[in-house]
Amino acid sequence: MDNHDSMNTSGSNLANTVKQLISMVHSIVPVDDVLTAWAMVRRGVDAGCYRSYNGISFLEQSLRTAVLFGQMVAVDRSMMLSLLLCHLRRDDFITEQEMIDSFGTDVVRIVNAIFKVSQLYHHRASIQSENYQKLLLALTDDIRVILLMIVDRLALLRAIENHPDHEFVASIANEVRLLYAPLAHRLGLYGVKSELEDLSLKYLNPKAYAQINEKLIETKEHREAYVVDFIKPLRTLLAQAGLKFEIKGRTKTINSIWNKMKNKHVDLNGIYDLFAIRIIIDTPPEREKIECWMAYSIVTDVYVANPSRLKDWITIPKTNGYESLHITVKGPEDKWVEVQIRTKRMDDVAERGLAAHWRYKGIKSEAEVDTWMTNVRELLESDGVKGIGNAPAMNMYDKEVFVFTPKGDLFQLPAGATLLDFAFAIHTGVGSRCIGGKVDGRNQKINYLLKNGDTVEINTLSTQVPRLDWLNFVITPKARNAIRQAVNEANIRKADMARELVQRRFKNRKIDLDEGIMAKIIQKMGYKSIIDFYVAVDDELIDINLIVERYEQMYQKLNDEQPAVQGAATDFVFTGSDTPGTDILVIGDNVKGVNFKLSKCCNPILGDKIKGFVASDGAVKIHRTSCGNLKHLESRYPYRIIRSAWSGTTGSQFMATLKVVGKDDIGIVTNITSLINKIGDTVLRGISINSSEGSFEGHLVIGVSSTENLRKIIKTILGIKGVRNVERTA
C-alpha cells in the first residue's frame, strides 16, 4: 500500500485524529504553528516522506501518538510538533534551519533525538539485553524523547490489534514487555505501564488474556462495589485509632493476575489476591513499626486473616530494600483480599523502583539513578512536560559506550573504547587476528573510537598477531592483558629459537657456553632480561659474531682475575713432544709453589676429574675433563696439557651453576633458597628465574665444598614439590 492509498483508505480516521489533535492543542499550541506544521506534512506526504511499515502508516501513527500523549501525559507544543515533523526531517525533506526558523531550537532538539533513538529498531535481537535499556537512555539526554517512545509503543499496540502479521505483533509486544513497560513504571506513568503490560500479554498469550479478561468483565461492577464495601469499616477504625493514612483499593491488572497464576501454578480461582488494598501511613521513622502493626491489628479484627499468608518484610526487609507488611484476609462473601500495610517512606522506596526486578545495575550508583528518575516524575506531577523540558541532562551512562554486532548482539564497553577493544570483547582470538573493521558499513582502523549505537563488524587475518604498540589503542583490561600475554608468548618463542641459534654457533666454534658469563654480557649490553636480549638476536638487531667476541673477551677477563696460589708451573717437566707429559699436577690448599687458576668456563669442584692447561703467562688453568673448551685446547695444544689431581682436602668453596626446571607455583623459589641455605658448607651466591605458561627455569650460582656436597644439594632440590629437573651447567 503506497502513501496515497494509505491516506485514502483511512481518510476518515485520519481526519478525525487531526480534529482531535487540533481540539486538544488549540489552547497550548498556537494555531499558526499547527497550520504551518500541517502544511509541511501535506507536502511531505506528496513527496513520499510518510511511508508505511508492515501496513502501519507513519503519519497516522505519529498523529495517534500525539493525541494519546496529550490524553495520558500532557499537552506540550514542542513534543506535539516534533511528532508531526520527525519523519520529514529523517528524509531531509525539511532542513534543520527551516525547523528552527519556523518552530525554534527545542523542537529541533527533540526531532534529532527521536531520529537517533529510532535507529535502534533494526536491532530487535538485543531487546532482551539489559544493555539495550541503558543504550536507549545513553543515546538521548532529553527524557521527553523517552516519554514519547513509551506512548508511541502504546499507540502502536492499540493499532495492531487486528494486524495479520502475528510475528510482527509478537515482536512489538515482547519489546514493550521487556523495555518500555518497566521504564513507564519508573517514570510514574502507572496507567500507561498497566496498559502496556496487559496489551503485551494479549498479543503474546491471547488465550490466557481472554480467560482472565472475560472473568473480570463478568464481575467488574460487583468488584468495584466490593472494594468500596471492604474499605469502609477499615477507614473508620483507622481514623478512630488516630492514624494519619490514605487507603487505596483496586483490582489487579490482567498481567499481574497472570503472573500470579504462573508463579503459583494455580488457575484463576486459586488466586487469593484479585483484590488488592494498600494502607499507607504517614508517620515519623521512629513510629513506623508500631503504627504498621496497629493497622494490622485493626484489619485482622475486622476480617479473618490467613496466617500462612502473612509476609513480614518490616521486621526483616527484603535484601533489595523492600519493606511492607502483607496479609491476606477473608472479606465479605468469603473472598480473599490481599492487604498491604506500609508507611509513606516505604511506599516511596517501593514505587521508585528500588525493589523492582528491572533496576539498572552497575553503571552509576542506584541512589543517583533513582534520584534523577524521581525528580523527573515529580516535575511531571507538578509542572507537566513543560517542567521536564528544562530538567538536567540524564547522562546516566556517559562513562559507557554500547555497540552492536552485525547479528544484533549488544556489547557494553567503557567510554573511549576502540574497535580493537570491541574485537577482544567478542573473543580473544578475534582480537588477536584483528586488522580493522567496518562501522555502519564504512571501513575503519583498529584505533577507531566507538560511539553509542555503532554496528561493528571485525575483519581478521589468520597471519595477524598482536603487537606491543597495540597497547596504545586499547583501554579495556581484557584487551590489554590479552595483548601482553600474546606478545610475551611470541617473545618467548622467538627467544627460544634465538638461544638455540647462539648455542649452535658456540658449539661450532667449540666453545663451552657458560650461562653466568652470558648473563654478565647481557647486562652490560643494557638488556633488562634474557628474553629481551634473545628477541633482539632473533630480530637481527645483534650480530651473533659480536656476542661470541664479547664472550671470549669476558671469559679471558674473568680467568685473568682468578686469584692464584704462589708458585710457577715451569717447575714441572714437559716432554716437548706432541703428547702430554707424564707428570701430575696436584692442587689444593696445602699445595705450595704452584701458580694455578680454576677455569671459569666449567668451574671445577673438589672431586671433579680435572686437567690443567699451561697458559701463555705461565699459569696453569684447571678445567674439568668434560669441559668443551678443554677439548678445543687439547686438539690445538696437546703438549701444554697437564694431568692434574686434587690434593684430597681443601677448606675453600667452589662456584657451581645449577639449572632448575619446574612448575611455577607460589612459594617454590622461596622453598628452594631456604633449603639450600640450611645445607652445611653451602652458600647461595646468585639466582635468576624466568617463568612462562605455568613453568619456570632458574639458574642458581652456589658455593660448595665438593662434588659430594653438590650431589646432596641436587638431591635436596629434586625433593621439592613442583621441581622436575636439576642439572649442573658449570
Is residue 435 assigned to a domain?
A: yes
- Does residue 543 sit in the same domain as residue 673? no
- Does residue 125 sit in the same domain as residue 64? yes
Q: Which of 204, 238, 269 delimits the end of a domain? A: 204
Q: What are the grid coordinates assigned to 483, written together?
A: 595483548
439 is in which domain, residue-wise? Answer: 400-475
- Residue 110 and residue 65: Cα distance in Å, rounded? 15
**C-beta of residue 59 within 8 angstroms of C-beta of residue 7:** yes
SS (H, E, C) 692-712: ECCEEEEEEEEEECCHHHHHH
With H, G, I as helix, E, B as strand and everything else as coil, classify residue 444. strand
- Residue 585 and residue 368: Cα distance in Å, rounded? 88
- Does residue 67 sit in the same domain as residue 46? yes
Q: What are the grid coordinates assigned to 209, written together?
A: 488474556
- Does residue 320 sit in the same domain as residue 344? yes
The CA-atom distances, in angstroms, between 575 and each of 142, 411, 580, 616, 643 are: 104, 85, 8, 17, 13
Q: Report the first-to-last Cα separation within the chain, whole angstroms.
A: 90
Q: How many CB atoms lie within 10 A of CB 711?
A: 13
pLDDT of residue 424: 94
**C-beta of residue 519 within 8 angstroms of C-beta of residue 581:** no
Q: How many CB atoms lie within 10 A of CB 336?
A: 17
Is residue 621 assigned to a domain?
A: yes
**C-beta of residue 217 within 8 angstroms of C-beta of residue 211:** no
pLDDT of residue 7: 36
Count CA atoms closer than 13 A to 217's CA, side-chain side. 6
Write the DSSP string, 659-684: EEEEE--TTHHHHHHHHHHHSTT-EE
Q: What are the grid coordinates assigned to 63, written together?
A: 498523529
Is residue 379 assigned to a domain?
A: no
Determine the distance from the C-alpha atom of residue 258 to the mean position of all C-alpha atoms in its chain, rounded to a whole number. Answer: 36
- Does residue 406 sit in the same domain as residue 493? no
- Does residue 582 sit in the same domain as residue 516? no
pLDDT of residue 448: 94
Residue of 394, 249, 255 whose CA lies nearest to 335: 249
Q: Which of 536, 560, 584 delimits the end of a domain? A: 560
pLDDT of residue 449: 94
Burial (Cβ within 10 Å: 0-12, 13-18, ≥19) of residue 505: middle
**Which residue(s) pair with 326 in the sheet?**
311, 340
Per-position b or e across 341-371, b if 16+ CB within 10 A of its CB = bbbebbbebbbbbebeeebbeebeebeebbe
- Residue 607 and residue 620: Cα distance in Å, rounded? 18
Is residue 372 assigned to a domain?
A: no
Q: Which of 424, 440, 475 delimits the end of a domain? A: 475
- Does residue 263 sit in the same domain as residue 330? yes
**C-beta of residue 408 within 8 angstroms of C-beta of residue 128:** no
**C-beta of residue 510 within 8 angstroms of C-beta of residue 632:** yes
Q: Supply the CATH number for residue 669's domain.
A: 3.30.70.260
Give average pLDDT by consecutive 10-residue segment, the chain, 730 residues: 38 62 63 79 80 80 82 76 83 86 87 76 54 62 79 91 90 86 74 88 92 80 84 94 89 83 75 77 93 95 91 81 87 87 82 37 42 54 49 58 81 90 92 92 92 88 89 91 87 86 84 78 83 85 85 73 40 37 66 71 85 80 85 80 76 80 76 77 75 75 83 85 83
- Residue 113 and residue 139: Cα distance in Å, rounded? 8
Domain count within the chain: 6
- Does residue 81 sit in the same domain as residue 105? yes
Is residue 470 assigned to a domain?
A: yes
Is residue 381 assigned to a domain?
A: no
| DSSP β-ladder status, 584-587 and 641-646 | parallel
Determine the distance from the C-alpha atom of residue 293 to the mean position of all C-alpha atoms in its chain, rounded to a whole number. Answer: 46
pLDDT of residue 392: 46
- Residue 653 and residue 598: Cα distance in Å, rounded? 12
Q: Supply the CATH number for residue 453's domain.
A: 3.10.20.30
- Does residue 60 sit in the same domain as residue 130? yes
pLDDT of residue 240: 94
pLDDT of residue 339: 93
Residue of 372, 382, 373, 351 whose CA lies nearest to 74: 382
